[in-house]
Structure 1
């Protein structure tokens, strides 16, 4: 997606990628958090970071301001004694004394900043909380008698704890659409690079042509609203909502582990997915974007992995299945097999040899030179082509363990000495109904071929699309800018599973054609 009014020589995606790479320099294992903070800023949302002190949360905010032309940052460590003056600016004495107006000097404080970082946010008092709600919701700050449009593009908050229940912080907590857990550096190589680096710059230098102007942000904001949301994405959200409902039903009322996502929050999530699609250079949301929902619906640390599992399952098992109608393909293959059976086979009486039960529970092994020549019916049914330990019985019920493998419905192989020997079970001749081939005319075969070829054509189309997506994931040409390496590997593994299913279905249809002679028509 290229917009010449917005970006002259590079696409939205290329510019976003360069911004993220620059901001992330030296911030080991923080690439995803940086990406989500930038995405939040473009979508007009706020982000909360949960994690211990000293993991680079404030540095991220200082760097993010450079993504915007004339960007300014404001940061503050909250305490129980913090006052509105410290956040929104002191009262203007001259205005108060000369004009009798109660106004603040806001320029160097939150209302005048592009990027704001508020540490230990939950320690803020009610006066600050109420003002923050208006700032986050409407991007307005009431300064005396007038409402001022704040310059805020990104509000980043952090704490090493979550808001306590019953403290009146629920409304503020709900306003942080994106929630990220920021831990200490876990990878040893990254940790060694961090502690041995001679310098990690607090500030960065972002080339001027990469920085976003107010006009460009305004254009992006308008474009977000025109990004298409396809049905498979909406179906994923429906599945996630069902997971949430089922989880909550299993909890006691008012449990801290209840997952609540308001309608307003879902609307904001959709906007976030649209922003992700736009910055990735697409005109519609895709299933990869849905993985970002995992940052938006957890309320406690215990829910982080739980909600991620829900979203993975919704995207992989339902989203992709819905996108490519694989369940419908399964039904079509079943329908084809039924047609083949009806048109190219007929039912006739057949005589077959079946194992004969002895004493109502054993099968007899013929010509086995041992007293232990009986096998339990259920043990025989469990045998496979691979030899395993199995008990054989005598007429008196005594048993001994041998190594057996099943060759067919009436034959076994038994380890005798250093090798295996084949033995038949005692059988009885039975009359059964069975399907036998019948000659079908050319018209019938052409009809079956038409049905089979339509399925194969669709499966080839799906396989081609999946191979292309898989190739892009592997060579990085279309790597999702807001999804980390681990999630991309999960996606690649699942794509491989779907590809295997598609290839298996193709093979199944080809074998069905061979069985009725369709390849010869």
Structure 2
């Protein structure tokens, strides 16, 4: 297996070549590369002339001269056009066998335009090719070398059971639009036309898939997936078990690419594009996912900034604030209190003072270290996943964690001030950053 850094650099270089040729397709390019490394199919939904077929060919070029098949389907397309003609020699021997060389069953990469126009004569064969990578050639079960298939459609399938089964075979889905920015529009006319270098190989994909089999989906990540499943179902978005299983596999592939033996939250960043059935649902699905991503990020950062632990300490003493404050008041006015109760409250008050001071010092130190980390965050985040488009946007999520920590520190200081009528010794923190 190549070193993870070398693999990541190859993927970054591949992204660079594609981004120079296809404007405003940065996120889509990352989706395509993860799908390709996962051996999953991609469906592009968008208008004609949005460079879908060009992007499919260019992506295949990254693997050199591997067999590529593309075709525009119509309701009149025959199986011969897609799977190859029937062998006349075999037919004379009462065998119904297709000559598949040069057709879809013999391709390593494929692009099928207007896929939902496929007729029933083609559909069943397509289902097995897409899911099991198997083509039933007569009585024989023929394994296909297909690594990656991209399909496109101007519209989504109607409520048709057969087309729904076909639609479910596409784990990754992406809506493609025309170029919108003037800068991109200008660059479109000077995009490189030279061949894309063969930066990747099928052997590399096989190695990553092999390594991914040993990657662990840890319990917190599985729980995050289950929470996502429940959150989606509450909003009436239902995914099949097969689809969830494939999502988990894509996360494992991402972990393998980055040399991780355990999936972490950064391996999940492209998940929203594996969830939707209709493009208009993507915004809502991204919001649901983002909430869970932030919670998972917080848990994974617990070692560096254990907000939950600090928050529990604050809540523990906030619940006793009235009781402790009343004791302080009774001491000042000479209120009656039994000796046993008085001793118990003195111990509790001293424990509170000690814990609040220790919590404030620890939290302040971690927050200051966190501020230093934030200065280098974009580079650190970029190192966590090659599939992140704008690492600096994720840095905002870390800022949110710091702000939460600062609020906890303010609560600690406020509680201490209320109970002991003074500031915590040695705790100075600049909240204006």
- Deviation of 1:347 after TM superposition, in Å, equals 3.2
For 1:294 and 1:469, the matched residues in 2 are separated by 26
Give every structure 1 segment of 4 or more consecutive aligned residues whose post-TM-superposition deviation is greater than 6 Å.
440-444
What is the aligned partner in structure 2 of residue 186 from structure 1?
Answer: 180
Contact 1:49 1:57 in 2 (8 A): yes
Q: Is 1:217 the counterpart of 2:205 in the alignment?
A: yes
Contact 1:40 1:47 in 2 (8 A): yes
Distance 1:9 1:224, change over 3 A: closer
Contact 1:16 1:279 in 2 (8 A): no
SS, match of residue 228 in structure 2: helix
Contact 1:179 1:295 in 2 (8 A): yes
For 2:97 and 2:361, the matched residues in 1 are separated by 72
Alignment of 1:136-175 (within 5 A): 136-166=130-160, 168-175=162-169
Q: Is 1:235 the counterpart of 2:229 in the alignment?
A: no
- Deviation of 1:510 after TM superposition, in Å, equals 4.9
Distance 1:463 1:80, change over 3 A: farther
Q: Is 1:333 the counterpart of 2:239 in the alignment?
A: no
Q: Is 1:110 the counterpart of 2:15 in the alignment?
A: no
Distance 1:320 1:220, change over 3 A: closer
What is the aligned partner in structure 1 of residue 425 from structure 2?
Answer: 519
Aligned residues: 409
Distance 1:456 1:152, change over 3 A: farther
Alignment of 1:302-341 (within 5 A): 302-316=280-294, 318-323=295-300, 324=302, 326-337=307-318
What is the aligned partner in structure 1 of residue 336 from structure 2?
Answer: none
For 1:299 and 1:464, the matched residues in 2 are separated by 43
Contact 1:69 1:213 in 2 (8 A): no
- Deviation of 1:340 after TM superposition, in Å, equals 7.2
Q: Which has the larger radius of gyration?
A: 1
Which has the higher relative contact order, 1 or 2, with Cα contacts under 8 A spaced 6 or more apart?
Answer: 2
What is the aligned partner in structure 2 of residue 42 from structure 1?
Answer: 37
- Deviation of 1:170 after TM superposition, in Å, equals 0.8
What is the aligned partner in structure 1 of residue 84 from structure 2?
Answer: 89
For 2:28 and 2:126, the matched residues in 1 are separated by 22
Structure with greater strand percent: 1
Contact 1:294 1:308 in 2 (8 A): yes
TM-score (norm 2): 0.83
For 2:200 and 2:331, the matched residues in 1 are separated by 81
Alignment of 1:54-65 (within 5 A): 54-65=49-60
- Deviation of 1:159 after TM superposition, in Å, equals 0.5
RMSD of equivalent CA atoms: 3.3
Distance 1:192 1:70, change over 3 A: closer
For 1:69 and 1:291, the matched residues in 2 are separated by 28
Distance 1:456 1:339, change over 3 A: farther
For 1:42 and 1:124, the matched residues in 2 are separated by 27
- Equivalent of residue 483 in structure 1, options 376, 379, 388: 388
Structure 2's unaligned 5+ residue stretches are 334-342, 427-433
- Equivalent of residue 121 in structure 1, options 115, 135, 142: 115
What is the aligned partner in structure 2 of residue 204 from structure 1?
Answer: 195
For 1:267 and 1:83, the matched residues in 2 are separated by 33
Alignment of 1:407-426 (within 5 A): none
Contact 1:290 1:311 in 2 (8 A): no
Contact 1:135 1:150 in 2 (8 A): yes
For 2:328 and 2:135, the matched residues in 1 are separated by 81
- Deviation of 1:88 after TM superposition, in Å, equals 1.0
Contact 2:130 2:169 in 1 (8 A): yes
For 1:470 and 1:280, the matched residues in 2 are separated by 23
Contact 2:370 2:402 in 1 (8 A): no
Distance 1:233 1:296, change over 3 A: same
Contact 1:470 1:492 in 2 (8 A): no
What is the aligned partner in structure 1 of residue 239 from structure 2?
Answer: 261
- Deviation of 1:247 after TM superposition, in Å, equals 1.5
SS, match of residue 20 in structure 2: coil
Contact 2:255 2:267 in 1 (8 A): yes
Structure with greater helix percent: 2
Distance 1:169 1:442, change over 3 A: closer
What is the aligned partner in structure 2 of residue 498 from structure 1?
Answer: 401
What is the aligned partner in structure 2 of residue 131 from structure 1?
Answer: 125
